[in-house]
Amino acid sequence: MPAEPGQINTTAHRARPTVQSPALGRTTARGAAWMIGQAVGSKLVSFGSQIALTALLMPEDFGLVALAYTVRAFTDKLQDPGITAVLVQRSRHFERWMNPAFWMSLSSGVMAMCIMLAAIPLAVWFYGEPGLVGLMLVLALSAPLDTLRTVPRARLSSQMRFGTLAGLDLAMLILQMGLSIALAATGFGAYSFVMPLPVMYAVRTGVLWSLARPRVRWALQLRRWRHLLNDTVFVFATYMARTLYWQGDYIVLGRLHGTDVVGVYFFAFTLSTQTLFLLAGNLSSVLFPALSRLTQEPARQKAGFRQAIDVLAMIGIPMALLQAAVADPVVRLVFTPRWYDGIPVLQVLSVGMAIRMVGALGSSLTQANGRFKLQASVDGCYAVMFLTAVSISALYGAALTVAITVAICSSIFGLVNMYVAMRQVGGGWADAVGPYLRPTLIGGGACAAGWAAAQTVTLENQETVQQLLRLAITLVVSLGVYLPLIRMADRPTWDLAMMRFKTLLRRGES
């Protein structure tokens, strides 16, 4: 996270600029803490819900809803084609743009609904799954209701009220997952995933509007739409490209293989992205508005960004690698045997996400500087490469082969995206690769040592005890090796992380 002046030892072997303002540094650190805290809670809720849902539903149910979401993912971007990002980037003039943004987003939601309804026959033909009809109807009819959150959420984000957003997101997830489990227990199958959405959207919209209180008039202000569209069109292009590579593996597997294969892959992919969304996804939502306030001060912007990614890499990369190391005992302990085929898929994807995680934050810096067209070009090129590689791999294999391809492509994109971001503030390949080196080498070695030590445990007819011991040994050895080594190898980042952690603890106690 961005540092406050005078709090980092600048005489250490890798000195950091200490130019971040105290107010913005504290706000960004608190915001990151709120969002990551919310994400921890969300992942615990999601993981517990996934355990329950995998016990109640079949892989085919997961596969069917994954295919429905491949269509929904594209229309989602029509619901918010970049309006939120543009509003946050223009936060100093939010009052001027919020009214046309509201009507523009509502129109986009209605358009998304119509397109998804029209796409139902095509999706049924493409995947050969008549069961998609009802699922897609529910998703389509929910779209306009979902768009009502755009303006109030953007206002809260531009005001950096991250604690409010974090609490609301966690509450809505609990509501959604609770309804899903209840529906699954009463026999609703794949519909358990989609039927809670209208209820959750309605509650969330009401709370957001009561908190943000944006002033919306009946005047559409159509003349201002085109000024929003100038940047929105490139943000929308970026979103569509990201949707292609986030959904491309599901699309290809759904076309070439059955819903059982898609279901196992969906299960593994969802677990593999836990660390990515826990850290990078939530930190990005804080960094974007914070960095947008520093567009006129590139030195401060670069310093804050570099410190944020250094801390993220030191924590996130070993977490993703540790996730791969403990995947086997965790899945065998908490999931039924029908999901065991997803273990190697989960391991491979977790390794790929380690590199992707840090690189994903590059988009925050690029877009904070208003370089929406550049980011759209980067994501567009990656989408083409990704779809080509995944399509070829799916012809010669199924879930595991595609997972290996996705991991390789994700790693490449993470590095390239970081390089493009660093170029905006005068950096180069050394700045792009630097944050990865120590955490990857030390974290990889530590997790490999933990995994190898765990494999020495073999107990006859005591499967549960064996998996518990393997899990414990992997965690203890991996962390026992990594923490002291990374502290010695990268003391400035360690001190920065500890300083932020202690500050947050003091705030929590007060």
For residue 244, the model assigns a pLDDT of 82
For residue 306, the model assigns a pLDDT of 78
Phi, psi of 105, rounded to the nearest 5 degrees = -70, -40
For residue 332, the model assigns a pLDDT of 92
For residue 469, the model assigns a pLDDT of 94
As a three-state string, the secondary structure of 5-16 is: CCCCCCCCCCCC
In the structure encoding, which two tokens stand for residue 233, read together? 């069109």
Which are the contacts of 239, defined by CB distance < 8 A and separation ≥ 6?
77, 81, 82
* Residue that the structure tokens 């996400």 belong to: 353
* Model confidence pLDDT, tens digit, residues 234-252: 777 777 888 888 888 888 9
Kindly report the number of other CB atoms within 10 A of residue 429's CB atom: 12
Looking at residue 6, its amino acid is: G
Q: How many residues does the chain have?
A: 510
> Nearest-5° angle of CA 339, CA 257, CA 63?
45
Dihedral of CA atoms 377, 380, 385, 387 in degrees, nearest 10, equals 180
In the structure encoding, which two tokens stand for residue 418, read together? 């970081």
For residue 500, the model assigns a pLDDT of 62
Taking the model in full, what pTM does it have? 0.71
Kindly report the number of other CB atoms within 10 A of residue 111's CB atom: 17
Q: What is the pLDDT along the chain (510 residues), one digit of tens a residue?
A: 333 322 323 233 333 333 344 454 555 555 555 555 656 676 778 778 888 898 888 888 988 998 998 888 877 777 666 666 667 666 666 677 778 778 888 888 888 899 899 999 999 999 988 999 999 999 998 888 888 888 888 888 777 677 777 788 888 889 999 999 999 999 999 999 999 999 999 999 889 888 888 777 787 767 766 666 665 667 777 778 888 888 888 889 988 888 888 888 988 988 887 766 655 555 555 555 555 555 566 677 777 777 777 877 888 888 889 999 999 999 999 888 888 999 999 999 998 888 777 777 777 777 677 777 788 888 888 889 999 999 999 998 888 999 999 999 988 888 888 888 888 777 788 888 888 888 899 999 999 999 999 999 888 778 889 999 999 999 999 999 999 999 898 888 888 777 766 655 554 444
199/187 Cα distance (integer angstroms): 19
* Model confidence pLDDT, tens digit, residues 477-505: 999 999 999 989 888 888 877 776 665 55
Classify residue 360 by burial, with Cβ atoms within 10 Å: 0-12, 13-18, 19+: buried
Q: For 318, what's the count of Cα atoms within 13 Å in the CB-facing half-sphere?
A: 26
Q: For 220, what's the count of Cα atoms within 13 Å in the CB-facing half-sphere?
A: 9
- Answer whether 156's CB lies under 8 Å from 209's CB: no
Of the candidates 211, 471, 477, the one whose C-alpha atom is nearest the C-alpha of residue 328 is 471
For residue 402, the model assigns a pLDDT of 93
Which are the contacts of 20, defined by CB distance < 8 A and separation ≥ 6?
2, 3, 4, 5, 300, 303, 304, 307
Classify residue 11 by burial, with Cβ atoms within 10 Å: 0-12, 13-18, 19+: exposed
For residue 135, the model assigns a pLDDT of 93
- Answer whether 409's CB lies under 8 Å from 386's CB: yes
Looking at residue 244, its amino acid is: L
293/270 Cα distance (integer angstroms): 33
